[in-house]
Amino acid sequence: MADYAHPEVLVTTEWVANHRSDPTIRLIEVDVDTTAYEQGHIDGAVGWNWQTQLQDNIRRDLIEKSVLERLLGQAGVSNDTTIIVYGDNNNWFAAYAFWQLKYYGHKDVRLMNGGRKKWLEEKRPLTTDAAKVPSTTYRATGPDESIRARKEQIFPIIERKSTAQLVDVRSVDEFTGKIIAPPGMNETAQRAGHIPGAANIPWAQAANEDGTFKSYDQLKQLYQAKGVNGSDPVIAYCRIGERSSHTWFVLKYLLGYHNVQNYDGSWTEWGNLVGAPIEKEIAAAAR
């Protein structure tokens, strides 16, 4: 991991196994729900439900700062705690939690490289006992708007009034408009396709088979092959902002691009937005 621009934001499964009882560290397993957590998790880890705890489903937005403060306090996190997040699906929900924690200013957040998948493949121990942690009082800073993109920023890019690059991290079928959302997903859009001018680099291409991130050189080649080299600001998007937070993490921390934002409104917003142009042509996927 030493070749990455910021290797300090990743820890190995071995490191977690050796440090999980450290009182200055809090392990948090983040997934779409807590089903996997309840079936077995790393000893000492707190479980977060992405759907109900990290999303405001009334406003269809991030949770407010006060809600995050309460959530972190319940997880026994103080402002100087080192938070290690991990989860299923190559850490995509964990990466979203990382992004949201950075948005609200937590200083030391790290991802467990390989997530739950690698931990299980190595046959490391699990427990079904819920973590017992002392509550704390947490005070968040931020929000840091420099890492979050809004729909108003997208129009100038399409109109060539801004030089930012758009990266659509969804599957090729979503990008080309063959499907609107992955099978089984109930939050969707009225229209299929992609934002004009976006490069399609599916998020999972950044991961190895065991869920760990590919090497610096492999990642650099992957993104530069589609013209995404960090010379211009980059905005990543997907369907609801979780897969794109994984790509945001790769571009900002592993490759060291200086200006990277996650457009968490993503296709659920853009595909429903009146007056927002879209593209659907198959040829665009080869850009």
The CB density around residue 211, as the number of other CB atoms within 10 Å, is 24
Q: Which of 162, 161, 232, 174 is nearest to 201 (CA)?
A: 174
Q: How far apart are CA 123 and CA 182, in angstroms?
A: 30
Bridging pattern class, strands 234-237 and 199-200: unpaired
Q: Which of 68, 24, 77 is nearest to 46 (CA)?
A: 77
157 close to 242: Cβ distance less than 8 angstroms: no
Selecting among 77, 97, 238, 254, the annotated active-site residue is 238
Alpha-carbon distance values, 69 to 50, 131, 141, 245 (Å): 16, 19, 10, 21
User: What DSSP string describes 253-271?
Assistant: IIS--SSEEE-TTHHHHHT
Identify the H or E element spanning 30.
strand 25-31
The CB density around residue 110, as the number of other CB atoms within 10 Å, is 19
Answer yes or no: 238 catalytic.
yes
Q: What are the tokens at 36?
A: 């996997």
Q: How far apart are CA 10 and CA 85, in angstroms?
A: 10
Q: What share of the chain is helix, strand, coil (3-state, %, to 5)?
A: 35, 15, 50
Question: Which residues are designated catalytic?
Answer: 238
